[in-house]
Each structure stands twice: as C-alpha cells, then as structure tokens.
A and B are shown apart, each in its own frame.
Chain A
C-alpha cells in the first residue's frame, strides 16, 4: 500500500496547489485594465504626467448577452486616466489608485511623448524598458504640446487611439520607431533619435485661440480625468518628426524634412512622390512643391501634395476639392518601391564625406498634365524631376539637422563608425559637434519602370486618342 499512499500524496499536493500558492502572479482576465495607449507628459514642478487609455471590454467586445442593440454612433471604447508623479513608476502607482482594476501594460499599442517631456529627456522612458510587461516593439510617437490630448481622440473607424495610431503607422506613410529602435538610436554614440510626430487637428494652438486657453489650464493641474468633448482633437495626422540631440528634443522637422530624413536613413520602402511635370510653366512647380510645406493645417492633406495617402485619409475630411481643381497644375505622381539607400562614409584628412545612394523603381500612377508616357524623353525628364525632388527633400532635412539642430539624426556617425573605426574613435565623443562639418552627397537614382494600365496622354485636348498622339510626337 506504499504505492497507494504515494499516489494519494501526489494527488493531495496537486489538489492543494491552488490553495497553497494563493494568487501568485494570477490575475483573472476580467480584472485587468488593459492599456492600449500611453501618453507621457511633463507636469509642473518637475513632475511627470502619465495618461493611459484603458479599454472598457464591455463596450468593445460586446458581452455574452449582447443580443440586438448595437447600431448608433460608436460608443466610447475606453477611458482616459491620468496621474502625476515624480517619475512614471510613482505616477503608475497613483494611477492604480484611480482604476478599479489591475493595470496591464503588455497590450499597449503606442507610446506618445509630449513636447515638454521630450525636452526634459528620454531617461524618463526607463520604466518602459525595465518593466517586464512592456514590449520593445511598441511604437513611439511624439507630439507638440500635450500628449494626453491625443488620447482624447474620438472613436472613428477604429475605436481607440492606440489602434488608430498603429493603423496609420502600418500604412507606412511615415517612418515608425519602436522602443527598441529608439533604444538603439539613443544608445549608439553615432546616432540621435528622431520620432514621428502626431499632429492633432485642430492643433492645440488653434484650440487655445478658440477657447482662450482656459480649457487647458483647467486640465493642467490635478489628477482629474481628461477628455472634455469641447477640447477633443477631431483627428490626427502622423507627419513630420521630432528630432533629438542626444536624449533631448532639439527641434521639429516638418513633413518634407521628415520625408527627407526617411530617405537618408533608408527607411523609405514605398510611397508616392508628386512633381510638377517637367517642361510645363513654372507655376505648377511652385504649387506642387509648396503643397507639403504649407503651414496651415488644413492644407496638410491636400491631394496636390499627394505623397502621403495616410495623411489624406486623416486630414482631408471636409476640404473643398475645387480648390485644387482650380489651379489644375500639370503634375505627375510616381509610386515607388524596392527602394534601397546605401550610405558610405569617406574620410579625407579631417573632412568626412557621406555619400548616400538611393536606388529604386517607380511606376507612374497619376498625370494631370500633358504627358505622353510613350515618349521616352518625357519619361526620362520626369524621372529626373522625381530624383531631383527626392534629393531636395533629403537636403532639406540635412540642412535642418546640420545647421539648426546640430544633431546627427541620420545615424551617419554609426556608418562612419563601421567603415572607419579609427577615425571614429577620435570624434565619437563630440560627434554632434563634428557632424555639421560633414559633407553629404545625395544621389538619387529612381527608375521609372511602368506607366500603369493606360497609355493615354492626358492634357488640354482630352481623351481623343489620335490627337493626343500627334501632339505627343509634335512636342
């Protein structure tokens, strides 16, 4: 019966286990406050503010007794909770004091850093690297003004800001920085972080003009829940970037510069470039190039600028289309893919030169001017224009980084490090000071390959086939 006793002991042990261990690490799924988005801000008095978007599963998942109901406008999918502390661990602790459930971070979709906190430095992010629930693959965004405003985004196609933002990021209209990438950029001596920027519409500036700043002040202090309907942003766009020098925010890149940054970092894989048709009169050119640069937020998503489909999606809800139709610029858009950027560093004496070579393929997707795709010269001219436009953007970003920010946000230092470690060891400690002196040559070789499903020549004449072709050859 020894055997019997042994089995009994094992059985008792197994059955007694739940009682023995109590609730080590065990949390029922419905006891979790699932955080889907996190906004990090600074708070007065050297403190920080942690704002989280917590999903209300009932509202999203539809409980067991969901039945009919439904319909109507999308419900609020979650709650925005915010707390202040001297660091984020403390703020988290305070947050736990406000939430009836246990905070659960592992499903966090996005971290948004506010401008002020970014200027204070990235070291506040340590909690998000050290805590076991945090994931290194969480994308990070930066925003002007207060980040927590972004979490007040009303539900639209997606129900919560985390999904909205990651969804936009997935469209690859701009670059994406995950926590691990940020860490890599930040730790490497020859690199400085740059984070994509979330732009709220209406922007906080506009909004503060409207409400006279009172709404912000009221929300500025204390631990109260954020998100009054009046101050909510209506939509977000991810465009532009915040550039860091070492671990502090140094300045902002606008959309074009951010685009140039992507090209130089080799982050661009696909996208659209719109250029005025070469050979047309100058007005078109100005118009086309200005599209992306225009400071007013309303025009940020103008179709004329076209290089960011995602931006259009987010921003152009109620824009009068006629506005662009009026000018009717002769321009062409090229979608490109299989892009690769290679950067080489060369050191001559004390002069460092970086040569960036961008190669790729492009397809014509839209032409709104007189352009005959069968005409080889025109095609090559367009190709040249596209290359030029890209190069210009890259140089724009470069100029900003070298002259204004004095920060190597392109990771050129690491490239130098890899190709010429000896020289690198001389400059690595003051690389950001050294960087503005570096020369950068950008060479873009994008090849136009295909011209789409039609070979028609658009233009004034319209779609009369024979005339178009004669016109094409006449030119």
Chain B
C-alpha cells in the first residue's frame, strides 16, 4: 500500500538521525567503553563505515525499485509467498526493535528521574502520543523532527561546550592500547544502533526526489557518526574510560556534571526533555514503519487503523521482554549484535543479490 505525502531528502536524513541517536547517546557510551575503552570514538567511526555497506545495499535496492518500500520489493524480488514471509520478518524485527526502544526509554526514566512511577506508565503515555503522530503519517513525523532537531543540536552543543572545563584531553590516551580488537568489538556493539539505517529502506520510498536517497543516507550516517562520536568523546574526556564504563547512563551523566558558573547547574532535566522528544520521534517512526509494513504484507489499503493496536501490543511486549535492566544491557552486549546483523545487513544483502541475479527492477513508477 502507499501513503500519500512526500518528505524532502533533508527530512529523510534527519529522521535517520532520530531513528538512531536518541537511545544510542544514552546507552551506547557506557557499553562502548566497556569494550573499546578510550578508543570508543574510533569504534563509532568504524561502525559508521561499516553501516555504509548496508546503506549502499539500501541505496542500490532503492535505485532498482524507486518509490517502493522495503516490504513491497521483498515481494517483487522473492515472489508472492517468500516475499511475504521475508517482509513479515522485517515487520516483526521492527516491531521487536520498537519494543526494545520503549523498554529502554521507560527503564531509564524510572531509574533516573521518577523512581516511584510505574514504568508501564511511561511506556503507555509515550506510545499514546507516538500513535497520535504515526496515525497522522510520515509527513507529520518529519515535520516534528524539523522542529525538534534544532533544539536537539543546540542542546548538545551547549552541553558539550559547557562540559569542556571538565574535560581532560589526556583521557583518550593511550591510543589503541590493546590493539584493534577491542575497537572492533566496540563497533559490533555499536552495530545494533547503526544498523538501523535500514529503516530508510522503508520510509525512503517517500523521499522526493527518490534519486537523492543516497544523499540522505550519507548525510544521515555522517550526522549520526558526528553526534554519537561527539557524545562518546565527551563522555570519555570528562569521565575517563574507567569511570565511563561504570556509569549506566553516561550521556545523561554528562549533562549532570555540566555547570554554568553558579547559576545554571543541573540542566539534566532539560536534557531529559529533549531526549524524550527524540525518543518520541523514534518510537513514532518505528510504529509508522511497522504499521505500514503490516498493512503491505496483509494487503490492507490503509495502515492507520493498525497503529493503535500495534502500539498497545508493543507496550505489552516491552513489558514482558526483559525482567530487569541487566537483561537489557546483556541483550545489547551479546544478543542484539548478531540478531541485528542478520536482519539489518544479511537479509537486505540477500535481497539485493537475488534482485541482481534475477535482474529485477522497477524503474517506471
């Protein structure tokens, strides 16, 4: 099925930032320093380079099937039945991903901000607003990011700028202390976040003009690498690798140590506000993609009625997915890299190969 409305290439790339950054800046630095220590920033760069490959795959697929979403060209490439199955795998994967995001979001808020509030409340409320956004379509989500993005960027600039007095450049030394292997390990942990570029294969179909998808991918990835690298770097410079590993929410702690003279301390609540906005976009976008995919697979004309039930299911799944925050960390460290590598990289690659072998393309839209 198709959804009317187009987004500009710039909006597409900013959406890509929002699809990856919000949870990454919160959870990733701590996990990353666990593996790659003070070379985590290098791991981010490597992961970005690695994410370039699936991005290329997505781009080539999009060139073959312009104006078709991932779910649609699954079917075009693999035929009716196999295509539907693969598309369903993607739908489920996005669905699962969204549940993880919702869980991470509410888990963080209960831990760091309002411990007495049940986490289900956070999950329900943010999903409710996200459902509202997703029902209104991609254009509305994209326009919301237009509004939030400058705030996000400004806020990160402010935080990093005012954290500079706390930074000590020596913290990034020694460079490559234990060789390249830990860095590669770190990149692998970054992968579950970076690999989400695949989401561009779904909403990328609505980018106008479609040829500029490549530009969106490149700027999207570069922006993500820039901000993620900056935050990781900031965390390492301020806390040092040793301390950073022990801070569960290192990005948040970065905001907590910032002080602007005597009058502007404690700006972490502002961090939270903007971070909530970012996660909201991420959840809304994922919900939209899941609903769109499910509508495509089931052949519905309209994805809107699916959004609210999917959101409810997502909350339920998020609630039962993990028992505690350690499981989330374990999952992010061990399970997710492999799983995401499978569906975010190998599967699209296979699609591309099959399409290439069978020589399929749909250029006339």
Query: A188 and B256: CB pair below 8 A?
Result: no
Min C-beta distance of B237 to chain A, whole Å:
12
Alpha-carbon distance between A330 and B28 when the two chains are bound, in angstroms: 60
Closest residue of chain A to B258, judged by CB? A137
Q: Which of A132, A135, A183 is in CB contact (< 8 Å) with B246?
A: A183
With A180-B257, A184-B243, A187-B243 already in contact, the answer to whether A24 and B174 are too (CB < 8 A) is: no
- Residue tally, chain B, CB below 8 Å to A: 26
Stretch in A216-224, A238-246, A415-423, A452-460 with 4+ CB within 8 Å of B = A415-423
Alpha-carbon distance between A129 and B259 when the two chains are bound, in angstroms: 19
Contacts of B112 in A (CB 8 A): 132
Q: Which of A106, A129, A180, A418 is in CB contact (< 8 Å) with B173?
A: A418
A-contact 0/1 string along B84-122, CB 8 Å cutoff: 000000000000000000000000000111111110010
A21 near B: Cβ within 8 Å?
yes
With A24-B118, A180-B239 already in contact, the answer to whether A135 and B177 are too (CB < 8 A) is: no
B242 near A: Cβ within 8 Å?
yes
Which residues of chain A from 143 to 164 have a CB within 8 Å of any chain B CB? none
Q: Which of A106, A132, A184 is in CB contact (< 8 Å) with B111?
A: A132
Q: Which of B173, B178, B256 is in CB contact (< 8 Å) with A136?
A: B256
A-contact 0/1 string along B149-183, CB 8 Å cutoff: 00000000000000000000010011001100000
Which residues of chain A from 397 to 418 have a CB within 8 Å of any chain B CB? 414-415, 417-418
Query: B113 and A132: CB pair below 8 A?
Result: yes
B253 near A: Cβ within 8 Å?
yes
Alpha-carbon distance between A137 and B177 when the two chains are bound, in angstroms: 29
Alpha-carbon distance between A371 and B178 when the two chains are bound, in angstroms: 57
A348 near B: Cβ within 8 Å?
no
Query: A183 and B116: CB pair below 8 A?
Result: no
Q: Which of B114, B242, B257 is in CB contact (< 8 Å) with A188?
A: B242
Min C-beta distance of B125 to chain A, whole Å:
10
B240 near A: Cβ within 8 Å?
yes
Alpha-carbon distance between A132 and B252 when the two chains are bound, in angstroms: 11
A350 near B: Cβ within 8 Å?
no
A209 near B: Cβ within 8 Å?
no
Query: B174 and A21: CB pair below 8 A?
Result: no
Query: A184 and B239: CB pair below 8 A?
Result: yes
With A24-B116, A24-B117 already in contact, the answer to whether A137 and B257 are too (CB < 8 A) is: yes
A25 near B: Cβ within 8 Å?
yes
Query: A25 and B170: CB pair below 8 A?
Result: no
With A136-B256, A419-B174 already in contact, the answer to whether A180 and B113 are too (CB < 8 A) is: no
Min C-beta distance of B243 to chain A, whole Å:
5
Alpha-carbon distance between A417 and B240 when the two chains are bound, in angstroms: 13
With A25-B117, A136-B256, A137-B259 already in contact, the answer to whether A180 and B243 are too (CB < 8 A) is: yes
B-contact 0/1 string along A413-444, CB 8 Å cutoff: 01101110100000000000000000000000
Query: A417 and B174: CB pair below 8 A?
Result: yes
B-contact 0/1 string along A174-217, CB 8 Å cutoff: 00000010011001110000000000000000000000000000
Alpha-carbon distance between A129 and B178 when the two chains are bound, in angstroms: 29
Alpha-carbon distance between A9 and B173 when the two chains are bound, in angstroms: 58
Alpha-carbon distance between A327 and B68 when the two chains are bound, in angstroms: 93
- Residue tally, chain A, CB below 8 Å to B: 22
Interface centre among A135, A136, A184 (most CB of B within 10 A): A184
Min C-beta distance of B242 to chain A, whole Å:
4
Alpha-carbon distance between A183 and B238 when the two chains are bound, in angstroms: 12
Alpha-carbon distance between A184 and B246 when the two chains are bound, in angstroms: 10
Query: A24 and B114: CB pair below 8 A?
Result: yes
Which residues of chain A from 22 to 42 have a CB within 8 Å of any chain B CB? 23-25
B-contact 0/1 string along A102-130, CB 8 Å cutoff: 00001000000000000000000000010
Contacts of B238 in A (CB 8 A): 180
Contacts of A106 in B (CB 8 A): 266
Alpha-carbon distance between A183 and B250 when the two chains are bound, in angstroms: 14
Query: B243 and A21: CB pair below 8 A?
Result: no
Query: A132 and B243: CB pair below 8 A?
Result: no
Contacts of A184 in B (CB 8 A): 239-240, 242-243
Contacts of B174 in A (CB 8 A): 417-419, 421
With A132-B115, A184-B239, A418-B170 already in contact, the answer to whether A21 and B121 are too (CB < 8 A) is: yes
Alpha-carbon distance between A415 and B170 when the two chains are bound, in angstroms: 9
Q: Which of B114, B173, B253, B265 is in CB contact (< 8 Å) with A25?
A: B114
Closest residue of chain A to B118, judged by CB? A24
Contacts of B115 in A (CB 8 A): 25, 132
Contacts of A25 in B (CB 8 A): 113-117
Alpha-carbon distance between A21 and B121 when the two chains are bound, in angstroms: 9
Min C-beta distance of A432 to chain B, whole Å:
16
Contacts of A421 in B (CB 8 A): 174, 177-178
Contacts of B257 in A (CB 8 A): 136-137, 180
A-contact 0/1 string along B45-59, CB 8 Å cutoff: 000000000000000
Closest residue of chain B to A132, judged by CB? B112
Alpha-carbon distance between A21 and B238 when the two chains are bound, in angstroms: 38
Alpha-carbon distance between A421 and B178 when the two chains are bound, in angstroms: 8
Min C-beta distance of A342 to chain B, whole Å:
10
Min C-beta distance of A170 to chain B, whole Å:
9
Contacts of B242 in A (CB 8 A): 184, 187-189
Alpha-carbon distance between A106 and B246 when the two chains are bound, in angstroms: 20
A-contact 0/1 string along B115-135, CB 8 Å cutoff: 111100100000000000000
Contacts of A129 in B (CB 8 A): 246
Min C-beta distance of A379 to chain B, whole Å:
34
Alpha-carbon distance between A113 and B113 when the two chains are bound, in angstroms: 27
Alpha-carbon distance between A417 and B173 when the two chains are bound, in angstroms: 8
Contacts of A132 in B (CB 8 A): 111-113, 115
Closest residue of chain B to A133, judged by CB? B115
Alpha-carbon distance between A132 and B253 when the two chains are bound, in angstroms: 10
Contacts of A180 in B (CB 8 A): 238-239, 243, 257
Closest residue of chain B to A170, judged by CB? B262
Alpha-carbon distance between A24 and B257 when the two chains are bound, in angstroms: 26
Alpha-carbon distance between A106 and B113 when the two chains are bound, in angstroms: 12
Min C-beta distance of B73 to chain A, whole Å:
38
Alpha-carbon distance between A168 and B324 when the two chains are bound, in angstroms: 43
Given contacts A137-B259, A184-B240, A184-B243, 17 further A-B contacts (CB under 8 A): A21-B117, A21-B121, A25-B116, A106-B266, A129-B246, A132-B115, A135-B266, A136-B256, A137-B257, A137-B265, A180-B257, A187-B242, A187-B246, A417-B174, A417-B177, A418-B173, A418-B174
- Contact sample, A vs B, 7 pairs, CB 8 Å cutoff: A25-B114, A25-B116, A184-B242, A187-B242, A187-B243, A414-B170, A418-B170
Would you list the 6 A-B pairs with minimal beta carbon distance, nearest first? A418-B173, A25-B114, A187-B242, A24-B117, A421-B174, A25-B116
Residues of A within 8 A of B (CB): 21, 23-25, 106, 129, 132, 135-137, 180, 183-184, 187-189, 414-415, 417-419, 421
Residues of B within 8 A of A (CB): 111-118, 121, 170, 173-174, 177-178, 238-240, 242-243, 246, 253, 256-257, 259, 265-266
